Amino acid sequence: MKRLLSGLAAIAFALAAPLPAHADRTPDDLRELSRTLRVHIGSAVDATALAGEADYRRVLNQEFNHVTAENAMKWETVEPQRGAYDWEAADAVVENARRNRQQVRGHTLVWHNQLPAWLIEGVDSGAIDAKELRKILRGHIMTEVGRYRGKIRAWDVVNEVVDDTGKLRDSIWLKHLGPGYIADAFRWAHQADPRAKLYINDYNLEWDAKKIETTLGIVKDLKAKRVPIHGIGFQGHLGIQYDYPGDFAGVMRRFTDLGLEAAITEADVRMVMPATAEKLATQADYYQRMLSTCVANKRCVEFTVWGFTDRHSWVPDWFEGEGAANIMDENLAPKPAYDALLAVRRK
């Protein structure tokens, strides 16, 4: 019996072990690439498309072993009226992930955007004072993290808390609760799910010196206070009209040297339209370099694209005249960027 159990254990280990990287063979899809590189490869999920588009759902589940709810877990979505929760879209993302062997990133618990109107109006009118606001924030974190306890690999606990000048963002949280709200958010999230990895997440963190230094300071302060913070999220929203952030690898190391794991959480590479073969080649190079940066750092565990298809992209609505930011086109056909990701190898 012992010999049989040992044999079964060996088989299980062999099946779970990552596939070796072969220089002469390109993986068939991103899931296989993920096993080869030993890095989760994920996508943001449009919950409406997940429910209503069979081709979108098929490609999402075939290609990715990690997912992030693009909007379904944000506060304005899950609690549009105070005390009245709507978990339908978020639950659907989590359940689809369970059925398709995908891990989940929770996004996001504390942000200055996409807050419910009742909260903003209450704070602005004075109907919600600082004491009550802190209680509301704690309740939100405990409720949402608690609902998905054991089902979320990592949470973006605080999102974009540093502004473009390198200062703490002048949000309702900073104005009314002071900078201590950041530590509180991590403590509450950890209390609600002690096994989840807890992240600070931001944009332009790949290159913006002021934002980098301030964020490093936040992390060092939290760790000095023994606040449970486990990861740093680099959003990875790039544009080919700008130089690729050449010292991204060095920046990532500065954070992982503090003991954090790292993730590229929202990668996309936009361009001024129309798309051309030359622009798509540059885009492919940027995507490949981002994933290669992650793979080269042993503490980088996840590479997530902010949507995989140009059919559903936030870019055209936010950047006039720009688009084509994803690795597949509107018809879900792979672009050069997709093939460039498949070509990445662990050295």
The mean pLDDT of 309-334, rounded to a whole number, is: 98
Report whether pLDDT(170) > 50: yes
- Separation CA 58–CA 164 (nearest Å): 38
Task: Report the CATH number that the domain containing residue 124 is assigned in CATH.
Answer: 3.20.20.80
Which has more confidence, 214 or 11?
A: 214
The mean pLDDT of 168-189, rounded to a whole number, is: 98
pTM greater than 0.85: yes
Residue 16 within a domain: no
Report whether pLDDT(16) > 60: no
Do 287 and 341 touch, CB atoms closer than 8 A?
Answer: yes
Note the pLDDT of residue 140. 98
Q: Which residues pair with 110 in a beta bridge?
A: 158
Note the pLDDT of residue 347. 84
Per-residue tokens: 26: 């390109």
What is the CA angle 198-199-203, rounded to 5?
165
Report whether pLDDT(24) > 70: no
Q: Give the side-chain half-sphere CA count within 13 A for 240.
A: 26
Distance separating the N- and C-terminal Cα atoms of the chain: 41
Which has more confidence, 344 or 3?
A: 344
The mean pLDDT of 122-129, rounded to a whole number, is: 98
Do 78 and 116 touch, CB atoms closer than 8 A?
Answer: no
Report whether pLDDT(262) > 60: yes
Residue 63 within a domain: yes
Buried b (16+ CB within 10 A) or exposed e, 332-344: bebbbbbebbbeb
Determine the structural domain holding residue 77 and report its residue range.
Answer: 24-342
User: Average pLDDT of the chain?
Assistant: 94
At residue 311 the predicted structure's pLDDT band, cuts being 50, 70 and 90, is: very high
Residue 297 neighbours by CB distance under 10 Å:
18
C-alpha R_g of the chain: 20
Residue 347 within a domain: no
Helix, strand, coil % over all residues of the chain, rounded to 5: 45, 20, 35
Number of folded domains that form the chain = 1
Residue 225 within a domain: yes
- Separation CA 202–CA 42 (nearest Å): 17
Residue 193 within a domain: yes
Amino acid at 48: T
Say which residues have a Cβ less than 8 Å from residue 313's Cβ, sequence separation at least 6: 268, 307, 323, 325, 326
Cis before 245? omega within 30: no
Active site residues: 160, 266
* CA-wise closest residue to 97 among 50, 144, 143: 50
Residue 10 within a domain: no
Note the pLDDT of residue 342. 98
Residue 206 within a domain: yes
Report whether pLDDT(12) > 90: no
Q: pLDDT by residue (tens digit) across 251-261?
A: 999 999 999 99
Residue 39 within a domain: yes
- Separation CA 123–CA 134 (nearest Å): 11
- Separation CA 174–CA 112 (nearest Å): 10
Stated as kind and residue range, the H or E segment containing 303 is strand 300-305
The mean pLDDT of 313-320, rounded to a whole number, is: 98
- Strands 197-202 and 237-239 come out as unpaired
Note the pLDDT of residue 25. 85
The mean pLDDT of 263-279, rounded to a whole number, is: 98
Report whether pLDDT(19) > 90: no
Do 294 and 303 touch, CB atoms closer than 8 A?
Answer: yes
Do 300 and 320 touch, CB atoms closer than 8 A?
Answer: no
Note the pLDDT of residue 6. 35
Q: Which residues pair with 255 in a beta bridge?
A: none
At residue 26 the predicted structure's pLDDT band, cuts being 50, 70 and 90, is: very high
Report whether pLDDT(183) > 60: yes
Say which residues have a Cβ less than 8 Å from residue 73's Cβ, sequence separation at least 6: 90, 93, 106, 107, 108, 144
Report whether pLDDT(87) > 50: yes
